[in-house]
Amino acid sequence: MSKSKKKETQEVPDQEMSAEEVLEERTEPEEALPEEPQTGGPGEEPEGTEETPVVEQMVSKDQFLRLAAEYDNYRKRTAKEKESLWTDAKADTVQAFLPVYDNLERALKQDTADEAFKKGVEMTMNQLKEVFARLGVTEIEAQGQPFDPNLHNAVMHIEDENLGENTVAQVFQAGFMLGEKVIRFAMVQVAN
């Protein structure tokens, strides 16, 4: 811009407002950017000194806010996915140890004359249960509980007047949960 045009834009009548004043009224005050040094010969207009129209400034602010919101959503989504991956990996690992738990449980149900052997199996089973507890794995309560298809897998049905309607009569295989996620359903026999 030439010097005469700069003077004209600085002297704005009271009723008219410049684009900068309109922007300042609609947005929060921002730090002023340092002016770029003017280059070029006399009579040439330096690049970048024209005022940005109000609409373009508002659009760029809107785009910035949308980009910031998209980034925040991306950050939250990836954190949630990371937590989900950790839970799935832990559940898969525990599921790999469940056959060991089943074998130890069967070994404890067998009668043996060797008390040292029985004591060793009991200690191993207790240690495995402690590890599960530290990982947040809990056994699904089934014996004598009302049948819940979200937790139990019914493989047999019996008629028993001593038990209530849809009550778990016997547990064939223990079920486990990690928090709210079922790792393995309890295999049960349901009465009535």
Q: How far apart are CA 135 and CA 94, in angstroms?
A: 9
Determine if the pTM surpasses 0.75. no
Q: Across the beta sheet with 186-191, what order do the strands follow?
A: 152-158, 186-191, 167-173
Q: Across the beta sheet with 181-184, what order do the strands follow?
A: 137-139, 176-178, 181-184
Residue-wise pLDDT for 4-27, tens only, equals: 444 444 444 444 555 455 445 544
- pLDDT at residue 18 in the model: 52
Alpha carbon 57 to chain centroid distance?
A: 36
Residue-wise pLDDT for 55-98, tens only, equals: 777 778 888 899 999 999 999 999 999 999 999 999 999 999 99
Structural domains of the chain in order of their starting residue, each with its CATH number: 51-135 (3.90.20), 138-192 (2.30.22.10)
Q: How far apart are CA 183 and CA 64, in angstroms?
A: 44
Long-range contacts of 44-47 (CB under 8 A, 24+ apart): 45/1, 45/2
Region 105-131: mean pLDDT is 94
Q: Considering Cα of 54, then 60, then 66, then 69, what sign does the dihedral take?
A: negative
Residue-wise pLDDT for 119-154, tens only, equals: 999 999 999 999 999 999 999 999 999 999 999 999
